[in-house]
Structure 1
Amino acid sequence: MTNRRRQRWTAVALATALMLAGCGDDQADESAGGTASAPADGSYPVTISNCGEEVTFDAPPRRVVTMDQISTESLLHLGLKDAMVGTAFRNDDIFPSVSADYESVKVLAEMYPSKEVLLSVEPDLVVGNIDFFTYSGFPPGSNFTREELTGKGIKSYTLQCQGEQPDPERMFVRFAELATIFGAQARADQIIGQVKESLAATETVLAGATPVPTFIYRSGTGPLATFGGGGGSADGLRRSGGQNIFSDKAALPPPEVSVESVAALNPKAIVISDEDEQSPQDKETFLRGILSQSDAVKNGTFCVTDFYAFGTPFRLARDVNVVGKCLHPDKTFPAFP
């Protein structure tokens, strides 16, 4: 991994810690998707309840800045590239079906843009993921809060609220909400329908298959960073025909486990998350050494996922088939998209 990507990953790690510090916030009690009030015909005004903020749109935003890859790809999938005046914080390769559109959007910063850079493109809406408004300043204060954006007449929307417990269905709800802001409900409905149809086809392929006990490896040499149950990665693994061997652990904060506990559970497969300074190949070499007696190593069953695996509707549909094929090579999975 390049030094630039290492810096991006470090920023995400710091951001996650700050987000988790607010898990007791009242915003955590908000429903999975908040509420959207808009006429069925896509006319305006549209009012969205988002992370405790009521945001009203009198017309579709025309100058949007997306603060991370999840929000960037979400808008591009909705066909809104012409409304985007800037983007930031890309960690993975852009999803193939929107990569050409991405090239037409100005990249404001490798990480989060400064206040000055953000204002220079005169946004009327800023969209982010994981409540970036809370922690996107490194050091704190170097980026705008939601309140500061509102004070400057800039609206904001975030795809995950501070302190929310993981909820895989929330992704669909928030994606549809985002589309409502732009009057693109029909496109969102089409995408969600296609994705759920593909997920159903994958479920049919896996019908009767025994879930493969799987260790999700993120980073570390001991303890090892992994994912617990209930979150997006655990849900994606389940849909892929795997079973997280640490599903009994809480999703937040993401758990760390000992090498001995992994070995004792004897995973039959290992999913490597490509998210830090180690390459997937180096991670596999390391794991082969410390878990040499596991069935996963003996069988050579290693799967690799992106940093943002399962993170958008399109990524979810694609990644469950990619991981599914790795875990169940004898089965034929649907191609999506």
Structure 2
Amino acid sequence: MTRRALPAALFATLAAALSLTACSGGDADPAPGAAGSSTDAVTVQNCGRDVVFDSPPQRIVSGWPTSTELLLELGLGDRLVGQYNTASSQGDPLPQYAEAYAAVPVLSDAAPTRETLLAAAPDLIWADGSYLFDGQQLPTIDELAAQGTQVLVLSGFCDDGGTSAVTDVDDDLDTLGAALGVTDQTDALRDQVDGQLADIEASTADLAPVDAAVISTYEGTVYTYEGVYSDMLERAGGANVLAGTLPEGTYFGELSAEQLLATDPSALVYLLSGDETPEAARALLQQDFPSLSAVAADRLVFLPQIDSTNLRVVDGVQSLADQLAQLR
């Protein structure tokens, strides 16, 4: 395969870095505690990889809306040089982040091109998964590291979401705190998240779980979900009646209408995508599955799919707990 030429912006960045290295005398030992010295280097674990940061990244590209929100919550908006998989395709940012979110350059509403990504000259990409870094759509993770761009993947999506869980947010906060040099902020935020989740679980601990199926629809096809959604449902006082039906290592898959009708769950948790509304989803279910007990009795719970990652997962669990309480 022919090697693509480096974009002008990245070439200029690399050239400037080489020039600075030459001027500073590359053979000299760095002063103790100087940026880039071994005393500053931090190694974090991510998806089975040791990722080394010689200094905290200052140019970050975010690959998921809730990841952008989390970086803004940590006060790191000035380090964000781009975002993709943006809110326009996944859902609106929360009001408290909307203004700062809008100021982050949009590289693409979906997957960015290689040229667009590299032109942003990031030293860190915080990605929603490793699927894009295949050497075709984007350079591989190793290729990016060789040219000075590290990649961290949301810990729940190291295996494309097959084993994702609510507490992935704790792992990501630990990783980000160490890598970005903001452990005080991430430690405090982790304590807050853990406290909120503990309060929700305590409020549902003595209640009989509400049996429910977790589904969504797209262009006439029904999908069911496990992974983080089963975990969220359990913490909120429910139980996923379709847990265990998907192949190991996957968190979503097609569900036939016959399977759904045969299961006939007492409640449905419907995952909303993008700008899909509960009203539209309810109308669709009433049209396509009027004989389902949950649909006939209007035992329907709605959850935006975006409320399952980063800080939004706490909102998602709370929303499920509140809606399930109304069904008891």
Short-chain TM bin: 0.7 to 0.9
After TM superposition, the runs of 4+ consecutive aligned structure 1 residues lying more than 4 A away are: 220-223, 276-280
Residue 177 of structure 1 deviates from its aligned partner by: 0.5
Q: Does 1:308 align with 2:306?
A: yes
Question: In structure 2, what is the equivalent of residue 46 of structure 1?
Answer: 42
1:136-215 mapped onto 2 (5 Å cutoff): 141-159=136-154, 160-162=157-159, 165-168=162-165, 169-215=167-213
Residue 49 of structure 1 deviates from its aligned partner by: 2.9
Residue 188 of structure 1 deviates from its aligned partner by: 1.3
Deviates more, 1:57-66 or 1:170-179: 170-179
Question: In structure 2, what is the equivalent of residue 97 of structure 1?
Answer: 96
Residue 299 of structure 1 deviates from its aligned partner by: 2.5
- Kindly indicate whether the alpha-carbon contact (under 8 Å) linking 1:126 and 1:157 is maintained by their aligned counterparts in 2: yes
How many residues align structurally? 282
SS of aligned partner of 2:225: coil
- Kindly indicate whether the alpha-carbon contact (under 8 Å) linking 2:63 and 2:126 is maintained by their aligned counterparts in 1: yes
- Return the letter of the residue paired with 1:84: L
- Kindly indicate whether the alpha-carbon contact (under 8 Å) linking 2:130 and 2:160 is maintained by their aligned counterparts in 1: no
Whole-angstrom distance in 2 between the partners of 1:185 and 1:116: 33
Whole-angstrom distance in 2 between the partners of 1:142 and 1:221: 26
Residue 99 of structure 1 deviates from its aligned partner by: 2.5
Residue 278 of structure 1 deviates from its aligned partner by: 6.4
SS of aligned partner of 2:111: coil
Whole-angstrom distance in 2 between the partners of 1:204 and 1:303: 21
1:112-127 mapped onto 2 (5 Å cutoff): 112-127=111-126
- Return the letter of the residue paired with 1:192: R
Whole-angstrom distance in 1 between the partners of 2:75 and 2:283: 41
Equivalent position to 1:69, from 41, 65, 68: 65
SS of aligned partner of 1:226: strand
Residue 279 of structure 1 deviates from its aligned partner by: 5.3
Residue 248 of structure 1 deviates from its aligned partner by: 2.8
Q: Does 1:322 align with 2:319?
A: yes
RMSD: 2.5
- Return the letter of the residue paired with 1:327: L
Equivalent position to 2:78, from 67, 82, 94: 82
Q: 1:164 and 1:200, CA in 2 relative to 1: closer, same or farther beyond 3 A?
A: closer
- Return the letter of the residue paired with 1:157: L
Q: 1:305 and 1:328, CA in 2 relative to 1: closer, same or farther beyond 3 A?
A: same
- Return the letter of the residue paired with 1:59: S
- 5+ unaligned residues in a row in structure 2: which ranges? 1-38
- Return the letter of the residue paired with 1:58: D
- Kindly indicate whether the alpha-carbon contact (under 8 Å) linking 1:219 and 1:276 is maintained by their aligned counterparts in 2: no
Identity %: 27
Deviates more, 1:237-246 or 1:89-98: 89-98
Whole-angstrom distance in 2 between the partners of 1:96 and 1:242: 29
- Kindly indicate whether the alpha-carbon contact (under 8 Å) linking 1:88 and 1:111 is maintained by their aligned counterparts in 2: yes
- Return the letter of the residue paired with 1:196: D
Question: In structure 2, what is the equivalent of residue 239 of structure 1?
Answer: 235
Q: For 1:110-162, what per-residue CA distance to the aligned partner results, in whole angstroms no more than 9, with x for missing partners?
A: 11222222222221111101224435xxxx71322212212322222112324
Q: For 1:70-107, what per-residue CA distance to the aligned partner results, in whole angstroms no more than 9, with x for missing partners?
A: 43223223221111111111212113332332122111
- 5+ unaligned residues in a row in structure 1: which ranges? 1-42, 332-337
Instruction: Please say which structure displays the higher CA radius of gyration.
Output: 2
Q: 1:151 and 1:262, CA in 2 relative to 1: closer, same or farther beyond 3 A?
A: same
Q: For 1:211-244, what per-residue CA distance to the aligned partner results, in whole angstroms no more than 9, with x for missing partners?
A: 111121212577621113xx10111111122211
Whole-angstrom distance in 2 between the partners of 1:209 and 1:294: 25
- Kindly indicate whether the alpha-carbon contact (under 8 Å) linking 2:307 and 2:315 is maintained by their aligned counterparts in 1: no
Q: For 1:41-83, what per-residue CA distance to the aligned partner results, in whole angstroms no more than 9, with x for missing partners?
A: xx72101232343322122111111122243223223221111
Whole-angstrom distance in 2 between the partners of 1:198 and 1:162: 27
